[in-house]
């Protein structure tokens, strides 16, 4: 087996926008200088309010965390600004002595290391979850999608369209997977 050469987003703890909402809720009526502490895998993370936003301290290193917004439909969407590259991101990752975005840490998504069949499996499961949800049966790709019922509340036209697309995609997956099975088991003649 090859040695792992990439670091993935799952390797570091992260803070997303729900964390920001929690900080705001907790620090709204507090005195200046009050801080919130939460434990992460990298150590204690202290969050506190500043005049122009928030700041976070991890193992003695403090970084200013700025926030920006964009219009989204009829509302606004909030984003973090990375303390290092100032790019707009939805998540910041916490290291042992710093906070930064995925690109500044050099992190990759696990799906970026998947082979073609792995990406096809991921797409199949995503299509199945969109129709029937994430269950033990829908995760099992050996169970035919024709065995699952139409979900309650879904229109027949939408169900037929999604099921047809899923069946075509599953057929392509099994055709691509057949050489792997043949190589493992040996072709039966």
- For 79, counting Cβ atoms within 10 Å of its Cβ (0-12 exposed, 13-18 middle, 19+ buried), the class is middle
- Record the tokens describing residue 48, joined without a space: 């506190």
Residues 6+ apart with CB under 8 A from 141: 121, 124, 125, 170, 173
Determine, yes or no, domain membership for 1.
Answer: no
Dig out the tokens for 184 from the structure. Answer: 């493992």
What is the residue-wise DSSP string for 40-85? ETTEEEEEEEETTEEEEEETTEEEEEEEEEEEETTEEEEEEE-TTT
Q: What is the pLDDT of residue 1?
A: 46
Give how far the C-alpha of residue 76 lies from the chain's centroid of Cα atoms, to the nearest Å.
Answer: 21
Record the pTM: 0.69
Q: Same domain for 63 and 127?
A: no
Q: Are residues 16 and 90 in the same domain?
A: yes
Please tell me whether residues 86 and 23 are part of one structural domain: yes
Mean pLDDT of the chain: 88
Q: Do 96 and 119 fall into the same domain? A: no
- Tens-place pLDDT, residues 94-121: 988 899 999 999 999 888 888 889 889 9
pLDDT for res 2: 58
Strands, sheet with 75-81, edge to edge from the N-terminal-most edge strand: 35-40, 43-50, 53-58, 61-72, 75-81, 88-89
Q: How many domains does the chain have?
A: 2
Q: Is 37 helix (H, G, I), strand (E, B) or coil?
A: strand
Q: Which residue has the higher pLDDT, 184 or 170?
A: 170
Residue 25, burial from CB neighbour count under 10 angstroms (0-12, 13-18, 19+): exposed
Q: What is the 3-state secondary structure (H, E, C) of 121-150?
A: HHHHHHHHHHHHCCCHHHHCCCCCHHHCCC
CB contact at 8 A, 128 and 166: yes
Supply the range of the domain harboring residue 75: 7-110
Same domain, residue pair 103 and 131: no
Q: 3-state class of 38 per DSSP?
A: strand
Q: Which of 119, 117, 184, 132 is nearest to 163 (CA)?
A: 132
pLDDT band for position 87 (cuts 50, 70, 90)? very high
Whether residue 28 sits in one domain with residue 102? yes
| 49-59 pLDDT tens trace | 887 778 888 88
Shared-domain flag, residues 118 and 36: no
Cα distance between residue 8 and residue 3, in whole Å: 14
On whether both 19 and 99 belong to a single domain, the answer is yes
């Amino acid at each position: 087996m090859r040695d792992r050469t990439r670091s993935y987003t799952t390797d570091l703890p992260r803070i997303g926008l729900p964390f920001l909402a929690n900080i705001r809720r907790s620090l709204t009526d507090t005195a200046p200088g009050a801080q919130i502490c939460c434990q992460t895998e990298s150590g204690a993370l202290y969050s506190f309010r500043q005049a122009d936003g928030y700041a976070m301290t991890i193992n003695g290193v403090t970084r200013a965390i700025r926030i920006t917004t964009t219009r989204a439909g009829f509302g606004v969407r909030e984003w973090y600004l990375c303390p290092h590259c100032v790019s707009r991101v939805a998540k910041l990752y916490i290291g042992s002595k710093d906070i930064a975005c995925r690109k500044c840490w050099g992190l990759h998504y696990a799906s970026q290391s998947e082979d073609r069949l792995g990406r096809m499996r991921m797409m199949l499961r995503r299509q199945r979850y969109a129709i029937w949800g994430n269950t033990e049966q829908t995760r099992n790709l050996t169970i035919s999608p024709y065995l699952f019922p139409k979900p309650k509340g879904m229109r027949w036209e939408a169900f037929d369209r999604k099921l047809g697309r899923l069946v075509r995609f599953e057929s392509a997956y099994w055709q691509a997977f057949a050489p792997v099975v043949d190589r493992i088991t040996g072709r039966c003649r």
